Amino acid sequence: MTTLDTTPAGRFWDGIGIRQVQLVCGLILFAYVTSHFINHAFGNISVQAMDDVLALQIAFWRSWPITIVLYGALLVHMALGFWSLYRRREFRWKISEPLQLLLGLSIPLLLIFHVTGVRIAASVFGHEKLYPQTLYAYWVYWPRLAALHYAALIVCWAHGCIGVYFWLRLKPFFQTASPYLLAFAVLVPALATIGLYHGAHDVMEASTSAEWLAQYRTVAKTGTRADQDVLDRIVFSFIWGYLALIALTLVARVIRVLSERRGSTIKFVYGGGKTLRVPKGLSVLEASLRNDIPHSSVCGGRARCSTCRIRVVSDCSRLPAPSKREAFVLERVGSSSDPAIRLACQLCPETDISFVPLFPATLKTSLLNTGQQTRVGQERYLVNMFVDMRGSTKLAETRLPFDTVFIVNRFVGAVSQGVISCGGMPNQFVGDGILALFGLATDPRVACRQAIKAAAMIAINVDELNQFLAHDLREPIRFGIGIHCGEVIVGDVGYRDHISFTALGDPVNVGARLQDMTKALSCEVVLSEELFKTAGLPESALPQEQVSIRGRNETMLVRKAVSARALLDLIDDVTVIAA
Ligand code: FES
């Protein structure tokens, strides 16, 4: 069992895997590329403006600490790219993933002439190649380099944008932000390439004069023929060395694949009875994809979405322990205490294993059908409310089935009305229990306040229902409500035609447990402390209790409201927005 550090710092480090390191390094490089592109865009003003901004860029990016961070990020990002090339067994997720790897591997080849001519030349020979010298070299002296330079720009930008897209697409704000991100992704390179073109034309015109050449093409700035020979040798050595490294990695990959094929195999038994023989070392998700077995994997195997989760039904003690990252993700969705729940994209069994995927593979199909990101799987902060009707079992025993269904339906209607009137969404109905979600269209504070007000509205509606059915009921309908909030995954879950939008994750489980607790605490509503605090209620508004939650090691602070109706006095400013 992998134990996680529960301190904030420990949780932070536990959440970091190879993908996260690669992402941070990529973001540093993307920041550099963006600032460089913005610099190019100043060519739309003048070459002098480009040089003025370049002076600021050099002061920042060539300072020692930033140089170390930048080149460190570059080396780590490249090394992890090679690791990906070596290790990745399946490239079937989407065309964008192998494309991104291919673009990333081609960047050093496309950029080496530029990096050597400008950066290495400055460090080794003290050349001072600013925009006039560089644009002259690419557009006048070696015109073919202009095309190569443009290709490098486009490839770098596309690679960075794909990486940022994979990073942000599961974030709650992505849908709102996507038009702006798209505008940024299009405008920055467009302005940069047009700026370069304008700058290059100014340089081409100016360079017809002898004075310009005498001023800008001096030996001190551009170096000698001998310097250039050395730089050319560096470029060619790098290209050959880099190609050799790629070839070596591919050879290592082939050797690994062959040895896997010759090596021992293990058996994967899927829930439906399907059995595969796969080489040791393959992850469960890779085995599914390799054998065309649909398996949901919204994040593409990056240990982020948890939609590839499986329940192992064979002996769990023989499985390798989860990595820190896997344990972190499982803990986030409330599955860390159950050793049978694992991430298929991270689990590489060494022995035979039987398991059941927990999410329908149609999750992926629904993405293609609906094209709605939220419905495929998205992390977001939501409030979940569980409402349960008390005594419905007894009701069913003492009444005709028709009566029972009628009363339960009226109860569900009363609850749903209360939820909707406060801006929430009745989401799941399980018998006489209801899960409602708040915060799909509001910020967390408003969502928490909406949920609290909804609890009061439910009480009012149920009171009215009790009056309406007074002659029919031996005792009034009672209920329990549990409300909690936190980061959950929302998306479509189900099978074939029975797919519905819902929320998954630890906060949802906790909400259900809080509802159970209303009986033990003799109250109508139990709110988590987090919800209470996020709603911004005064400390004295509700009594605090420390409770143990089933399936959790630590105790939890909650607030209890004996009467749900009384909560109305606490909330009077809720903005009702239809979810
Ligand atoms: S595929 Fe997303 S966590 Fe495994």
Say yes or no: CB of residue 376 within 6 Å of ligand 1: no
Q: What was the pLDDT predicted at 499?
A: 63
Comparing CA positions, the residue from 385, 490, 496 lying closest to residue 435 is: 385
Q: What was the pLDDT predicted at 579?
A: 38
Q: What was the pLDDT predicted at 398?
A: 65
Ligand 1 atom having least distance to the Cα of 345: 4
- Distance CA(81)–CA(109), nearest Å, equals 14
Encode pLDDT of 57-109 as tens digits.
999 998 999 999 999 999 999 999 998 888 776 655 567 778 888 899 999 99
Q: Give 293 Cα–ligand 1 centroid separation in angstroms.
A: 16
Higher pLDDT, 454 or 368: 454
What share of residues in the chain are helix, strand, coil (percent, to 5)?
60, 15, 25
Average pLDDT score over residue span 190-205: 95
Q: What single-letter DSSP state applies at residue 218?
A: -
Q: What was the pLDDT predicted at 92?
A: 54
Say yes or no: CB of residue 357 within 6 Å of ligand 1: no
Map out the domains of the chain as residue ranges: 29-226, 265-359, 364-569
Higher pLDDT, 498 or 356: 356
Average pLDDT score over residue span 427-436: 85
Say yes or no: CB of residue 345 within 6 Å of ligand 1: yes
Helix (H) or strand (E) holding 484: strand 479-495
Helix (H) or strand (E) holding 59: helix 47-61
Ligand 1 atom having least distance to the Cα of 303: 3
Higher pLDDT, 11 or 111: 111
Task: Decide: 115 and 32 in contact? Cβ < 8 Å.
Answer: no
The structure tokens listed for 81 are 């790219």
Confidence of residue 495 (pLDDT cuts 50, 70, 90): low
**Ligand 1 pocket mutation, candidates 286, 302, 348, criterion most atoms within 8 A of CB:** 302
- Distance CA(338)–CA(316), nearest Å, equals 10
The amino acid at residue 444 is: P
Confidence of residue 416 (pLDDT cuts 50, 70, 90): very high
Range with the poorest average pLDDT among 78-87, 306-315, 353-362, 557-566 = 353-362
Q: What is the DSSP string of 273-335?
A: S-EEEEETT--HHHHHHHTT-----TTSSSSSS-TTEEEE-S-GGGSPPPPHHHHHHHHHTT-
pLDDT over 80 (residue 423): yes
Query: 265-359 and 364-569: same fold?
Result: no
Q: Is the dihedral of CA 363, 385, 330, 442 positive or negative?
A: positive
Say yes or no: CB of residue 301 within 6 Å of ligand 1: yes
**Ligand 1 pocket mutation, candidates 304, 335, 363, 489, criterion most atoms within 8 A of CB:** 304
Say yes or no: CB of residue 304 within 6 Å of ligand 1: yes
The structure tokens listed for 86 are 């070596």
**Ligand 1 pocket mutation, candidates 92, 93, 288, 298, criterion most atoms within 8 A of CB:** 298
Q: What was the pLDDT predicted at 8?
A: 67
Q: What was the pLDDT predicted at 497?
A: 54
Ligand 1 atom having least distance to the Cα of 343: 4
Encode pLDDT of 455-465 as tens digits.
999 999 999 99
Encode pLDDT of 44-57 as tens digits.
999 999 999 999 99
Say yes or no: CB of residue 305 within 6 Å of ligand 1: yes
Contacts 24+ apart (CB under 8 A), 191-194: 191/37, 191/38, 191/40, 191/41, 191/44, 192/37, 192/38, 192/40, 192/41, 192/153, 193/40, 193/150, 193/153, 194/41, 194/43, 194/44
Say yes or no: CB of residue 308 within 6 Å of ligand 1: yes
Percent of the chain scoring above 90 in pLDDT: 43
Ligand 1 atom having least distance to the Cα of 305: 2
Helix (H) or strand (E) holding 100: helix 96-114
Ligand 1 atom having least distance to the Cα of 304: 3
| pTM metric for this prediction | 0.60
Encode pLDDT of 252-288 as tens digits.
999 988 887 787 889 998 876 788 888 888 889 988 8
Say yes or no: CB of residue 534 within 6 Å of ligand 1: no
- CATH 3.10.20.30 for domain 265-359, yes or no, is yes
Encode pLDDT of 387-402 as tens digits.
999 877 676 666 667 7
Say yes or no: CB of residue 335 within 6 Å of ligand 1: no
Ligand 1 atom having least distance to the Cα of 297: 1
What's the farthest any 2 CA atoms get from each other in the chain?
A: 105
Topology, domain 364-569: Alpha-Beta Plaits (3.30.70)
pLDDT over 60 (residue 445): yes
pLDDT over 70 (residue 110): yes
Q: Give 94 Cα–ligand 1 centroid separation in angstroms.
A: 14
pLDDT over 50 (residue 570): yes
Say yes or no: CB of residue 418 within 6 Å of ligand 1: no
Q: What was the pLDDT predicted at 498?
A: 62
Helix (H) or strand (E) holding 135: helix 131-136
Q: Give 309 Cα–ligand 1 centroid separation in angstroms.
A: 7
**Ligand 1 pocket mutation, candidates 288, 307, 332, 355, criterion most atoms within 8 A of CB:** 307
Q: What was the pLDDT predicted at 529?
A: 94
